[in-house]
Amino acid sequence: MRSLSRTPLAAHLGLAFVLTALTPMVMAEPHKVIQADAGQYQGEALKLLERLVNIDSGSGYVPGLTQVSDIAIEELKKLGATIELVPNTPEASNHVIATLKGTGKAKILLMAHMDTVFKEGSAAERPFHIKDGRAYGPGVMDDKGGIVAAIYALKVLHNLKFTDYAQITVLLDASEETGSVVATELIKKTAREHDVTLNLEPGRPADG
């Protein structure tokens, strides 16, 4: 998919709202609390987005995919997630499954992908930048922004000590842009084990 702009923080704020709405034990006005907490992370989230966008991770480009997965894993481990790597055979890249355990009942799956449609060298040609309040760069919207959205939504919940879920799983696909040939069964199996699946693939008005 083409690289388009995205409004900073909008995705992970919306995702955090959805996560809290899944449980019956939420305060009457949770959005204000979440939004206030998320606001402090704007600069930090944009720095992570910049790091990811400035890495070439086109489908099949193992060095870049490994860099992206390593960064995501590092961030998810800070939140207490356990990590499983699933080989993207026959390539040397891996899909990532990160799991957080809570104290509630709902099982929630968040999905994003690490690969882009852009060739090696694209990040150097068109590096991450912000213009008129929007972020640009190869894969900024599809789907590096989705990875950042997942990480910072979970960071907000972690900071607010929100654990009213049984499990939150983050699945990062290494091959979405080429059809998720190996990942398809992994996605189906993992989704069946959860009550709700949120795909962090971007949307735009032209999609209807």
pLDDT at position 181, please?
86
- Chain position carrying tokens 């890249």: 93
Q: How far is CA 97 from CA 86, 162, 172, 199, in A?
A: 8, 21, 7, 14
Give the catalytic positions in this structure.
115, 176
Q: How far is CA 148 from CA 22, 50, 120, 192, in A?
A: 21, 10, 22, 24
Residues forming beta bridges with residue 6, ordered by sequence position: 135
By three-state DSSP, how is residue 98 classified? strand
Within the chain, which residues score under 50 in pLDDT?
A: 1-28, 207-208
Give the CATH class of 10-203.
alpha beta
Closest of 158, 156, 162, 190 to residue 23, by C-alpha: 162
Task: At 96, list the tokens.
Answer: 């990532």
Segment 110-164, tens digit of pLDDT:
999 999 999 999 999 999 999 998 999 999 999 999 999 999 999 999 999 999 9
- Chain position carrying tokens 């699946």: 197
Q: For the chain, first and last CA: distance in Å?
A: 16
